[in-house]
A and B are shown apart, each in its own frame.
Chain A
Amino acid sequence: MTGTRLREAPDPRLADAVRTVARVRGRGRRRSVVVAGGLLAAVATVFAVSLSLGDMVLPLRTVVDTLFGGGDGGSRFVVLELRLPRALLAVLVGVGFGLSGAVFQSLLRNPLASPDVIGISAGASAVAVTASLLFQVSGLALSGSALSGAVAAGAAIYLLAWRQGVAGQRLVLIGVGFGTGLSSVVWYVMARSDTADAQEAYLWLTGTLNGRSWGQVWPLLTALAALVPLTMLAARALGPLRLGDDAAAGLGTRVEPARLALLGCATALAGVATAAAGPVGFVAFVAGPIARRLVPGRGAALPHAALTGALIVLVADLGAQHLLPSVQLPVGVVTSIIGAPYLLLLLARANRGGSSG
């Protein structure tokens, strides 16, 4: 069905109007491309810097040479075996969290609705900590349990919030409650276990990239290679969905399947990122809002949120490694220092405005 035949009155103003629309829309698109380019350049720069810094400081030139197959044995070992996997992991974890948070926040139309607030990360933590402390699971199996915890928590929250469709506000509230419950499970399991083991688990809970190697990079890279394109495909429905369910349905969106697909992708993204590095706090929470501020009025700004997430984790991990001369901090400590004040600001503003929007 080709649908409609509106009578087209010839309008002398039309040509001008079309030019105006093209110009206004083009301006937004240009800004979006420029900002994405800027973020990409920033990620590349910090990435290169993080490869050059450490106990053995390498000039950036050597780093680049080494990446492209040059360099001597020593620099090859330091860059390719020690630093590259860690930096890559920082980028991938940041992309996963950034994209996941931005999808959740846009879809549920609530800046608080990031996976670390609505119980997805808590689900991953509860299962991973239980598996590691009570069943001595480690390595890839531990990552797997974190991922399954995230997916199980996501599914449980979705089902609990279901009432002939899922409304954003109810899902957020149920998620927050669910997350709090799961956190007490984590603390209970930790309190009952051996101090040394509990300390190990605590480090994981903070989110850390310390001691990560290629073994963690490949699974995450594979998962993201599938999940990122899937998310971008599902995100086509995000535009209409952000107008509310009725308007979205009127525009030809199959509301509930589209929402389920997006929630599934976002949950899996948070899950695989948590599996690789632990629930690195606040990355998913702040990446989206920062990205949307950089490109205002451009919808969910998903690519920008992914790049912002990568940049945050890279910078935070650089700080975690080098801020204190003798200690390597977990990256989650640094991201929380960035994120916590933003959460407070948001709560204060919501309080003043009398709404949670």
Chain B
Amino acid sequence: MAEHTLRARGVRLGYGDREIVSGLDVTVPPGRITVIVGPNACGKSTLLRAMARLLAPSEGAVLLDGRSIQDMPTKEVAAVLGILPQSPSAPEGITVSDLVGRGRYPHQGWFRRWAAEDNEAVARALLSTGTLDLADRPVDELSGGQRQRVWIAMALSQRTDILLLDEPTTFLDASHQLDVLDLLTDLNHEHGVTMVAVLHDLNLACRYADHMIAMKDGRIVAEGRPSDIVTEPLVGEVFGMRCSVMEDPASGTPMVVPLGRHHVREAGVHPAARS
């Protein structure tokens, strides 16, 4: 389905003198959901920002369809690759339909202003995110979950083949986190959109990722299907956390049960976790 490819080749990334990612390669599987996990400050958001062209690598390149993304015109990138930043801010008073309409910007130009096609793209985005009822409401008045749906709708109306999301579930309560991830999965299944998301919750990541990238200290520790790579030693290495990995009774994907120093029943602990 997805016809565009995104890869990173030997990218070194940092801010000023501070190097955060020192030379790594990533190939994003087209048409699938890729989730990047890792502890705070491991460089996962930095990597995502580089793939989104928000940060130029000091070495190496991010390749979109084999061309360096830094050398491509901004508009050309925006026609293929959409971004949902970590904490986007809506201008005061903007209505949902206007905000979602902003996603049409890369498709417009000096001579091509708003057209019927744009109304249709916005309508589809509102329908698939279940926000049509909110069309004339100001974004300021919405709840956190609704607001995140609206931002996803904006990214959708951009109609890109690849969508990068930086912690799309942060600040949402448990049910809205599920809601957003279900929505993203729907979009992936229905439209074949390639997605790359940074997620904090390891268990949700295991459940929703087709392909998982585990990062620590600016390098990739493991990548692959969650059921292939998520093991107790890996979680120990990446997060520095003792845990027990079992099968998620709902999804059959790996489920990570963290083990702290307290409230752990000796008998209930999986033997492997004791090593």
Contact = CB atoms under 8 A, between A and B. Distances in A.
B101 interface: yes
The secondary-structure label for the interface of chain A is: loop
Interface stretch (B156-164, B201-209, B214-222): B156-164
Interface residues of A, number: 45
A297 interface: yes
B10 interface: no
A7 B124 CA distance: 12
B120 A14 contact: yes
Contacts of A243: 88-91, 99, 102
B124 A17 contact: yes
Contact of A6 (B86, B91, B191): B191
Given A9-B190, A17-B132, A250-B78, A297 B138 contact: yes
B268 interface: no
Contacts of B88: 243-244, 246-247
Given A11-B124, A17-B126, A250-B52, A297 B132 contact: no
Given A6-B159, A240-B105, A253 B74 contact: yes
B63 interface: no
Contacts of A254: 74
B126 A21 contact: yes
A263 B155 CA distance: 27
A251 to B, nearest CB: 5
B78 A246 contact: no
The interface centre, meaning the residue of A1, A11, A164, A240 with most chain B CB atoms within 10 A of its CB, is: A1
A249 B135 contact: no
A250 B55 CA distance: 12
Nearest to A9: B190
Interface stretch (A24-32, A80-88, A131-139, A143-151): A24-32
A109 to B, nearest CB: 7
A270 to B, nearest CB: 22
A14 B83 contact: no
B58 interface: no
Contact of B83 (A3, A106, A247): A247
Nearest to B102: A239
Interface string B146-189: 00000000010011110000000000000000000000000000
A244 B82 CA distance: 15
Nearest to A233: B110
A5 interface: yes
A299 B91 contact: yes
B38 interface: no
B191 A21 contact: no
Contact of B160 (A4, A7, A9): A4
B53 interface: yes
A188 to B, nearest CB: 39
Given A246-B54, A299-B91, A252 B191 contact: no
Q: Interface size class for chain B?
A: 35 or more
B238 interface: no
B79 A249 contact: no
A260 B92 CA distance: 23
A17 B127 contact: yes
A8 B117 CA distance: 13
Contacts of A13: 127, 132
A252 B120 contact: no
Nearest to B135: A24
Contacts of B98: 25, 28, 297-299
Contacts of A249: 52-54, 74, 83
A252 B94 contact: no
A242 interface: yes
B102 A297 contact: no
Interface string B97-119: 11101110110001000101001
B136 interface: yes
Nearest to A257: B74
Given A21-B122, A21-B123, A243-B102, A3 B91 contact: no
Given A21-B122, A21-B123, A254-B74, A7 B1 contact: yes
B247 interface: no
Interface in B131-145: 132, 135-136, 138
A18 interface: yes
Nearest to B97: A24
A59 interface: no
Contacts of A233: 110
Interface in B55-99: 74-86, 88-95, 97-99
Contacts of B122: 21
A13 B124 CA distance: 9
Contacts of A4: 4, 79-80, 159-161
Given A5-B161, A236-B110, 16 more contacts: A4-B161, A6-B191, A7-B190, A14-B127, A18-B116, A18-B119, A25-B119, A106-B91, A109-B91, A242-B91, A243-B90, A243-B102, A249-B74, A253-B74, A292-B92, A297-B138
Interface of A: 1-9, 11, 13-14, 17-18, 20-22, 24-25, 27-28, 106, 109, 164, 233, 236, 239-240, 242-244, 246-247, 249-254, 292, 296-299, 357
28 contacts: A1-B79, A4-B80, A4-B159, A5-B3, A6-B159, A8-B124, A13-B127, A14-B120, A14-B124, A17-B123, A17-B124, A18-B119, A21-B119, A21-B126, A21-B135, A25-B97, A106-B91, A239-B102, A244-B85, A246-B85, A246-B88, A250-B155, A250-B158, A252-B78, A296-B138, A297-B95, A297-B98, A299-B94
